[in-house]
Every structure is written in C-alpha cells, then in structure tokens.
Structure 1
Amino acid sequence: MNAIPGVNNMRASLKGIALAALALALAACGNVSHNVAKDGRSAGEMVWPAPTDTTPMHKGGTFPNLANLRQMRAGLNKQQVSDLIGFPHFSEGIWGVREWNYVFNFRKAGSDEVAVCQYKVLFDEDKLARSFYWKPEACADLLKAPAPAAAAERAPAKPRVLSADALFAFDRAELSPAGHAALDDLAAKLRGQGGKLRSVRIVGYTDRLGGEAYNQALSQRRAQTVKDYLVARGVPGDRVTAEGLGKAAPVKDCQEGSRAQLIACLAPNRRVEIWIDGME
C-alpha cells in the first residue's frame, strides 16, 4: 500500500524538529557544569564554555555596567539577575537551568587594552543565585572601585544618614511628605556646590526582617527614589549613583521580641546613607 504524501511530509517535518531539538539540547549540555549541588554553592565538575560559542547576539561578549555587576549577590532570582547583567550569553537555556554563563569585556584603566573575562552564576534548586565564579579568577579584581586620590590633611569622609522611616512609610519606597522636605533641603545644598561637587553616592539599607532578595530589591528601589528626586531638583545626574545593600552592615542588633518591638528596635538599620565628595 502506498503511503499518503501529506502524512510522509508531516512525519519528515516532525523528525526534523526532533533532531534539531536534540542537537540544541546536546549543545547546551556541553556548555554547563556537571552535578551542581542542591544548594547551588558548588559543582562536581565546573565546565566553562568556549568564549567563541556564545549566541550570535552576544558574539564577542559585552561591556557590563560595573555598578550593576557589583550588586550581584546570593539570593537574587533569575529576573533580578537579568535586570542587573542581562540574560546568559550561551545556549544553556534561561528558566529551567541552574547555571548562567557570560563573556564580559573590561577596558583597563589608562589604556585602550580590553580584558576578556568569563563569569558564571550557579543557582540552587529554587533557582536563586548562590555562587559566582570568574575565569580567570583575577578578573574579580576588575570590579574593585578605584581608590580615591589621597588628599593632604583631608578628614575621613562620613555619610549623611537619613532614616528610612523618616523618608518612607514602612516597607514602601514612595517618599513621605517629611521625605520630600528633607531631600529638598539636601538638593539645595548640593546645587550650591556648583562645580565643586564631584560625586554623590546613595546607599539604601533595610533591617533583617523579610527575605534577602526582597530586602535587597527594596533597598535598591529606595536608593533609586532618592537619586531620582535629587536629580529632578537640579543635582547633576552624571554625578549621582544609587545602590541597595539590603540588610548588610547593620548598625544595631536587637534581641527577639514581638514584631512591633523588633521593628522599633531595628529602626536605625533602615536607613539611606549619602556619601558626598566635594561638599564644604
């Protein structure tokens, strides 16, 4: 009995799709590490894909935003990682895998030479980032902020510390009326420095209540809100940076108690620090 031509064509198409999918899966397997631990903190065998095997849109690697790259830390989910440094540069996949690989380019200070580095993120079983690796390992040093030039008899810099509870409602990132007033006063002082103002670094912090990823995101939104407000009132935007550090660097430790008591005790840790270079 002769086969029906349409059925043969359909079978051939399905076979071709299956073979293509298998080829992509096998290619991806060659790009990822083996036996990634459940907690995402190690792998039985670390595999680095060849830098030339990136997807076409990432050919040659990218120049990352250093401020964003410095915010990479354990506990971020994949959407937060992609917001900071983009999606992976290889074909290992996006949502189902537990490893993302990148090729980053860095321009060396004082020269036109470019350093090419590979960066790897391992995720735990909940797809939260847990460990980070560089190849070569020395590439990690490229993220270090340059040391400020020494100034003779210059007093150590101290930040202006603004209470997050005074700027924002609890667990929110929208400015309160008191927050508007405080930042209006600061913006006026910063504008008054004119060309003397070199940089304004805004760092947001939360208390230890809540999840790590949530706190990091909240602290980042609050720092960005302060930056946007100051820039909207005339502070030069190219001199202002915003960074959230979540529950890091607490200034007060509190014993366990009722939630209300703990929230009140931890208030000093919910803060926004503003580091100003060039203000008299």
Structure 2
Amino acid sequence: MNKLFQAKTSFTGRAVPLAALCLAALVAGGCASPSHTITPEMHARAASENPAPPKDEDFPALNSAKWEQGAFPSLEALRAMRTGLGKDQVRNLLGHPHFREGLGGVREWNYIFHFRTGTGPEYITCQYMVRFNADVLTNGMYWKGPGCADLLKPPPVGAKPVAAVQPAVVPARTTLGADGLFRFDGRSLADLLPEGRRKLDALASDIKSSTKSVNAIRVTGHTDRLGTATYNQALSLARANTVRDYLVQSGISAQTVQVQGKGESEPKVQCTQTSRAALIDCLAPNRRVEIEVFAER
C-alpha cells in the first residue's frame, strides 16, 4: 500500500486513513489546508468589497490568545498587506494567527503585535485583525489601539530614518466609581447621579481646556463578579456607552470616543466576605468606568 495514502498504528497494525491523520494534525496545529490558485476575477472581487470595519468589542480579548506573548512584526511586512492575498501569503508575511481561529472555513485571523518605543525594552501593544471573503482572500485589515494604524505611515520624503518607532501618546487615565456615577444597577443617562454628572462635566471641561488635540478617548466599563458573566458584560458596556454619550453631549467629538465593556474580567480587588452587604462594599473598586484620554497637552 502506498504510504502516502495509508499508515499503520503502532498499537493495532490497522490502516488509518490519511484524512483521520490530517484531522489529528489539524488539532495539533500542524496540518495546513492546501493552497488554491488566485485568479484575476477573485482579485477583482476582493478589491471591490468594502465590508464594515469591526468595533473594538469585535476583537478577541488579549487573555484569550493561544500565543499570549504576541510578536514584534516587521513594519515592511505589514505595509505589504493588501486586499486579495491568500492565507498562505498572509502567513508568510505575518506568521500564524495568535488566537484559536478554528479548523475550517475560517474568515478571520487575529494577531497581537508589539512595537518598540525607544532603545530600551519599552513597547506598546496593538491588536491586528485580518478578514477574508468567500474566496478566502483578504478583504479587510484593521487595528485596535490608539495610534496603531499610524505606525505604518512611511516617513516623509527626505526625512532621516529613525531607529525606533516613536511612542504613542501616553494616556491620561481617570477612574470613576460606578457607585458614584449611577443609581443602583443603573446604566442609562437617566440613571446618572447628580455627583456623577458633576464629575463628567469637570472631565469634559478639562479635556476641552487643557488639550491641544485629542487623538482618542477610550471609555471602559467594569463590574464586580456578582451576577452572571453575560449580564455583567452587558452592564459594563451599557455604562461605558452612557458615559460616552454624556461626554459627546458636553462637546466632545463623537468620532474620538471608543467604548468597550470588560464585565467582571479585570477586577482590582478580590473579596471573600460571607456577608453579602460586606461583600458588596468590598467589591466597590471593581465597579468602575475608566476614561483614557490620548491627547497632546
């Protein structure tokens, strides 16, 4: 029997079909799908498509990555990314995706990329998403992270090359306790407490008066662990959206504000109280909204 099409196990001596061997290798991450020819018609279809870009919450959580360390990519390789590339070509430029993307029919690859900000060990982290169309050709490449897409801009003509990527603007972070912002279990504009409104008014005034230009504002909602994970995720995102809406009503440009909900996934404190009232008090720091302002001051 041709060994390319049949193999024997060391335990039973029975023939094992190649498909079963390849499936096992796929699970182990070592068996790749065969390539296919890319025709001019396929290129044209990919170039004509204009899919809606993903929202921040469409990117996978960093802690769900298979390869959590990420990678330091080549800027030239990233600049070579285009619509109409096949998966083999993307893999050759960027390597394997860093998340568990599935075994077949996968239409999205996600990466964690780091960029040096100087000659030392400091770096910033960005997420990068590649989406594929029905022909399994790239039809969209997207970044998550303030200033990440700007890293690919080539230097001006005649400019001296720089040894390292310049750092993104360091954000000014404000953390507001949700208990002081919203009524109990509240999430809408109508649920904002008077003290919460005063804090947001002061924040909006500070942003408008003390910044030269705002690159981005990221609003992140967090909850404690009480309740289901699904409920907490929805609550955290709703509160972040409400804070965003209030800032926009206060004169902040809507185009600069990004929102995300982290639910109970990033607690600041751990509590073990058996009394529910005491537990709720202890968990208060976890119920919060964080506002990061990326701006030149």
Structure-to-structure mapping, 1:195-214, within 5 angstroms: 195-214=212-231
Aligned length: 185
> Matched residues, percent identical?
34
Structure-to-structure mapping, 1:51-66, within 5 angstroms: 62-66=51-55
Residue 57 of structure 2, aligned match among 55, 68, 93 = 68
Q: Taking structure 2 as the reference length, what is the TM-score of the superposition?
A: 0.51
Q: RMSD of aligned C-alpha atoms?
A: 4.1
Whether contact under 8 Å (2:233, 2:264) holds in the other structure is: yes
Whether contact under 8 Å (2:235, 2:263) holds in the other structure is: yes
Residue 183 (structure 2) pairs with residue 169 (structure 1): yes
Distance 2:212 2:79 in 1: 24
Label 1:208 to 1:279 Cα distance change in 2 as closer, same or farther (>3 A). farther
Task: Supply the AA of the counterpart residue of 1:168.
Answer: F
Structure-to-structure mapping, 1:150-169, within 5 angstroms: 150-151=166-167, 157=171, 159-169=173-183
Whether contact under 8 Å (1:117, 1:139) holds in the other structure is: no
Whether contact under 8 Å (1:162, 1:273) holds in the other structure is: yes
Distance 1:116 1:228 in 2: 39
2:270 is matched with which residue?
A: 253
Distance 2:289 2:236 in 1: 8
Whether contact under 8 Å (1:193, 1:278) holds in the other structure is: no
Task: Supply the AA of the counterpart residue of 1:244.
Answer: G
Structure-to-structure mapping, 1:109-128, within 5 angstroms: 110=79, 113-114=82-83
SS of match in other structure, 1:215: helix
Residue 238 of structure 2, aligned match among 221, 240, 255 = 221
Label 1:166 to 1:195 Cα distance change in 2 as closer, same or farther (>3 A). same
- State the 1:150 CA deviation: 3.1
Distance 2:85 2:285 in 1: 42
1:233 is matched with which residue?
A: 250
SS of match in other structure, 1:179: helix
Distance 2:226 2:172 in 1: 27
Task: Supply the AA of the counterpart residue of 1:114.
Answer: T
Task: Supply the AA of the counterpart residue of 1:238.
Answer: Q
Distance 1:188 1:109 in 2: 39
Q: Taking structure 1 as the reference length, what is the TM-score of the superposition?
A: 0.54
Whether contact under 8 Å (2:171, 2:295) holds in the other structure is: no
Structure-to-structure mapping, 1:1-280, within 5 angstroms: 62-70=51-59, 110=79, 113-114=82-83, 133=101, 135=106, 139-141=110-112, 142-143=128-129, 145=145, 146=148, 150-151=166-167, 157=171, 159-174=173-188, 175-193=192-210, 195-278=212-295, 280=297
- State the 1:63 CA deviation: 3.9
SS of match in other structure, 1:114: coil
Distance 2:288 2:296 in 1: 21
Unaligned runs of 5+ in 1: 1-41, 43-47, 49-58, 75-107, 119-130
Whether contact under 8 Å (2:211, 2:296) holds in the other structure is: no
SS of match in other structure, 1:214: helix
- State the 1:136 CA deviation: 7.8
Deviations 1:216-254, CA, capped at 9 Å, x for gaps: 100000000000000111011111111110012211111
Distance 2:86 2:221 in 1: 29
Distance 1:109 1:228 in 2: 35
Label 1:218 to 1:110 Cα distance change in 2 as closer, same or farther (>3 A). same
Distance 2:271 2:244 in 1: 30
